[in-house]
C-alpha cells in the first residue's frame, strides 16, 4: 500500500494512438501518474495513461513498447483493490512497476506482499547491488523518495534483488525470465535525484525506444490526420488569444489553410490591446479567415447591476453561446467541424477516453458547455499534449512569444477581476492597472518565472492624500503566483523594489486609484482568482 492519493484512475483509450511507439502507463490512482507520463515524454518517448482494467487487446493495438504500473493509494491485500489483467505479462514487452505497481506485479508473479513494520514516507538511502540495465550509471549509494505502507516481504526465487534501503530489503527487483522490473520508490519525483536516469534506462536500455517523440514530428503527424479527417469540409475554431486556442488555430491553418474559419468574440472584458494582438497575429501573420465579433454592448448589458461572481459567469456563458451560434450561421458553405483546445489533463480529469469527445466542451472561454444541437463534430488536436508541450508546439508553429508564453486568463475575462458591478469605467481602470503591472513584471524579467500575474479591482474605496487634497478612491490588489499545475499555488516573492515601482506607477498614472495591496495568500486555502 502506498500513500498516494488520487480520486480515480485515468480513462481507458478508445482507439490506438497515432504514434510509432507508446509507453502505456496503467494508472492505479497515483497522485504522480501524470508526472510519470510527463517524465517519459520529456525523455523522448510518447506516453499514454490508461485505466488498469484496459483490455489486453486494446493495449496490444497501441504499438506498445513498454508498460509502467503506477503507484496508488490502495493495498493489494484489499478486496476490490485495483488490478490489471494478469495476461499483461503475455504481451512480451518490458514492464516497470512503481510502488503499488511493483507490489501488484510481484504478487501476480508469486511474491509475498504485506504490510511493512511501519509506513515509510520521505527520503531514504538506496544501496545498489546490481547496476546493470535498469540502474546503469546510477551511483551505488543515492537518495530516493518513499511513499508506502505495504512492501514485498518475501521475494520469489524467480527474482533478483537490484537495490535495497535500510528498511526495505527489496527496493528494486528484476524477474529472471520475464521482462518485469519493480521499484518501491518513486523515480518520477524530483526528490529522487537519479529517477530520470532510471526511467531513461527503462525506456532505452530495456524497452529499446527510439526516442522519436518530438514536437516537429507531432506537428507533421497531426497535420496529416487533420487533413485526412476534414477532407473538403470546413472547420470553425473559437479563438481567444490564449495559448491553447492560438496553437489549435495555428496548427489548423497549417493543416487545412482556407478551410478554417476562426471566430473571436470581443466581449468587452478583454485585456488591453488583446483584440489588436489577435488580429495582427492571425489575420495578418497566418492569413486566417478571422471573424471578429464586437459584442461588448450585449455582454455589458447582461452584467449591469450583477455582483455575484457565479451569476456573472452564467450570464457570460449564455451570451457567448448565443453569439457563437449566430456567427457560425454566417460561415460560407457551413462548417462540419468545431475545433477546441482540449489538453491531455482535461481528457484525464473528465473521465473520458483517448479518442472520445469530452463531456463538457470548454471551448476558448471556459464558460460552460456548448449545446449538443450545434451539430458539429469535434476536432481536438491537442488532446494528447500537456500544457508545456502545447507551448513547445506553438514555438514550432512560429507563434510569437507573447502568445506562446502568456499567462492564463479566466474564461469570463476581467468580469471576475472587477469585484462588484462590472462597468466600462471600472474595466478601463483595471486594464490600465494591469498593463502597468505586466510591463514592470516583464521589464524585471519575472514573467516566465511566475505563472500568473494580474490586478484586481476591489469593491471598496479608501482614504488617501493626493497632492494637498484628501482623496477617497479605489483599491487595487496585485496577485502573482507560482504553480506547476494550478491545482496548488504559492504567492510569488516579487522583490520589494519591483512592487514599489508597480505601486507608484499605478497610483500616479491611473486616475481613481490611491492604494495598491499585494496578495500573499497561497492556494489552498485561497483560490488564484479573487472572485
| Catalytic site positions | 99, 186, 188
Could you give the CA distance from residue 279 to residue 276 in angstroms, rounded to a whole number? Answer: 5
Question: What does the chain come to in residues?
Answer: 531
Could you give the CA distance from residue 455 to residue 25 in angstroms, rounded to a whole number? Answer: 40
Helix axes 387-397, 243-256, angle to 10 degrees: 40
CB of 216 closer than 8 Å to CB of 396: yes
For residue 249 the three cell numbers come to 488555430
Handedness of CA 127, 130, 134, 135 (dihedral sign): positive
Q: What is the 3-state secondary structure (H, E, C) of 7-40?
A: CCCCCCCCCCCCCCCEEEEECCCCCCHHHHHHHH
Closest by CA to 340, choosing from 362, 371, 360, 325, is: 362
Could you give the CA distance from residue 255 to residue 245 in angstroms, rounded to a whole number? Answer: 15
Handedness of CA 259, 265, 271, 276 (dihedral sign): positive
Where b means 16+ CB within 10 Å and e means fewer, 330-345 reads eeeeebbbbbbbbbbb
Helix axes 243-256, 215-230, angle to 10 degrees: 60
With residue 378 as reference, give the H or E element that holds it: strand 377-379
Closest by CA to 133, choosing from 188, 185, 182, 198, is: 198
Closest by CA to 172, choosing from 159, 180, 164, 145, is: 164
Alpha helix (H) ranges present in 138-232?
Answer: 195-200, 215-230
Q: Cα separations (Å) of 477 from 317, 369, 393, 504?
A: 26, 31, 34, 13
Q: How far is CA 501 from the centre of its chain?
A: 33
Q: What is the 3-state secondary structure (H, E, C) of 107-157?
A: HHCCCEEEEEEEEEEEEEEEEECCCCHHHCCCCCEEEEEEEEEEEEEECCC
CB of 372 closer than 8 Å to CB of 269: no
Neighbours of 311 (CB within 10 A): 12
Closest by CA to 270, choosing from 478, 400, 434, 401, is: 434
Amino acid at each position: 500500500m502506498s500513500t498516494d492519493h488520487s480520486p480515480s484512475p485515468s480513462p481507458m483509450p478508445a482507439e490506438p494512438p497515432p504514434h510509432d511507439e507508446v509507453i502505456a502507463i496503467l494508472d492505479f490512482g497515483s497522485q504522480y501518474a501524470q508526472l510519470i507520463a510527463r517524465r517519459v515524454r520529456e525523455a523522448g518517448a510518447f506516453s499514454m495513461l490508461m485505466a488498469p482494467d484496459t483490455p489486453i487487446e486494446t493495449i496490444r493495438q497501441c504499438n506498445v513498447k513498454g508498460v509502467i504500473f503506477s503507484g496508488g493509494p490502495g493495498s493489494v491485500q484489499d478486496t476490490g483493490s485495483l488490478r490489471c489483467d494478469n495476461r499483461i505479462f503475455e504481451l512480451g514487452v518490458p514492464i516497470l512497476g512503481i510502488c503499488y505497481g511493483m507490489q501488484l506485479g510481484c504478487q501476480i508473479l508469486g511474491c509475498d506482499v504485506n504490510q511493512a513494520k511501519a509506513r515509510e514516507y520521505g527520503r531514504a538511502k538506496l544501496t545498489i547491488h546490481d547496476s546493470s540495465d535498469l540502474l546503469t550509471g546510477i551511483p551505488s549509494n543515492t537518495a530516493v523518495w518513499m511513499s508506502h505502507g505495504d512492501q514485498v516481504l518475501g521475494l520469489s526465487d524467480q527474482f533478483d534483488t537490484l537495490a535495497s534501503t535500510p528498511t526495505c530489503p527489496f527496493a528494486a527487483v528484476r524477474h529472471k525470465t520475464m521482462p518485469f522490473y519493480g521499484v518501491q520508490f518513486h523515480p518520477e519525483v524530483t526528490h529522487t535525484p537519479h529517477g530520470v536516469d532510471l526511467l531513461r534506462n527503462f525506456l532505452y536500455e530495456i524497452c529499446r525506444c527510439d526516442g522519436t517523440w518530438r514536437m516537429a514530428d507531432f506537428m507533421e503527424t497531426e497535420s496529416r490526420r487533420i487533413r485526412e479527417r476534414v477532407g473538403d469540409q470546413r472547420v470553425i475554431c473559437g479563438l481567444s488569444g490564449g495559448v491553447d486556442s492560438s496553437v489549435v488555430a495555428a496548427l489548423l491553418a497549417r493543416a487545412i489553410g482556407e478551410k478554417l474559419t476562426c471566430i473571436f468574440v470581443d466581449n468587452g472584458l478583454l485585456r488591453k490591446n488583446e483584440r489588436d494582438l489577435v488580429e495582427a497575429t492571425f489575420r495578418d501573420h497566418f492569413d486566417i479567415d478571422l471573424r471578429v465579433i464586437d459584442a461588448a454592448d450585449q455582454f455589458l448589458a447582461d452584467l449591469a447591476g450583477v455582483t455575484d461572481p457565479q451569476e456573472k459567469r452564467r450570464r457570460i456563458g449564455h451570451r457567448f453561446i448565443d453569439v457563437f451560434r449566430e456567427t457560425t450561421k454566417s460561415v460560407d458553405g457551413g462548417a462540419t467541424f468545431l475545433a477546441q483546445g482540449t489538453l491531455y489533463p482535461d481528457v484525464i480529469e473528465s473521465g473520458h477516453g483517448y479518442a472520445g469527445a469530452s463531456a463538457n466542451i470548454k471551448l476558448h472561454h471556459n464558460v460552460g458547455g456548448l449545446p449538443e444541437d450545434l451539430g458539429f463534430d469535434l476536432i481536438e488536436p491537442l488532446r494528447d499534449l500537456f500544457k508545456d508541450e502545447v507551448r513547445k508546439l506553438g514555438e514550432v508553429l512560429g507563434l510569437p512569444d507573447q502568445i506562446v508564453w502568456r499567462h492564463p486568463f479566466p474564461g469570463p475575462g476581467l468580469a471576475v477581476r472587477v469585484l462588484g458591478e462590472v462597468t466600462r469605467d471600472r474595466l478601463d481602470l483595471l486594464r490600465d492597472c494591469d498593463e502597468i503591472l505586466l510591463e514592470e513584471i516583464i521589464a524585471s524579467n519575472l514573467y516566465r518565472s511566475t505563472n500568473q500575474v494580474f490586478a484586481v479591482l476591489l469593491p471598496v474605496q479608501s482614504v488617501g492624500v493626493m497632492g494637498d487634497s484628501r482623496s477617497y478612491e479605489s483599491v487595487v490588489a496585485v496577485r502573482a503566483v507560482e504553480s506547476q499545475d494550478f491545482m496548488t499555488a504559492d504567492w510569488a516573492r516579487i522583490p520589494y523594489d519591483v512592487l514599489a515601482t508597480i505601486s507608484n506607477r499605478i497610483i500616479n498614472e491611473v486616475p481613481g486609484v490611491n492604494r495598491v495591496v499585494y496578495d500573499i495568500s497561497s492556494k489552498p486555502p485561497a483560490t488564484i482568482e479573487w472572485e
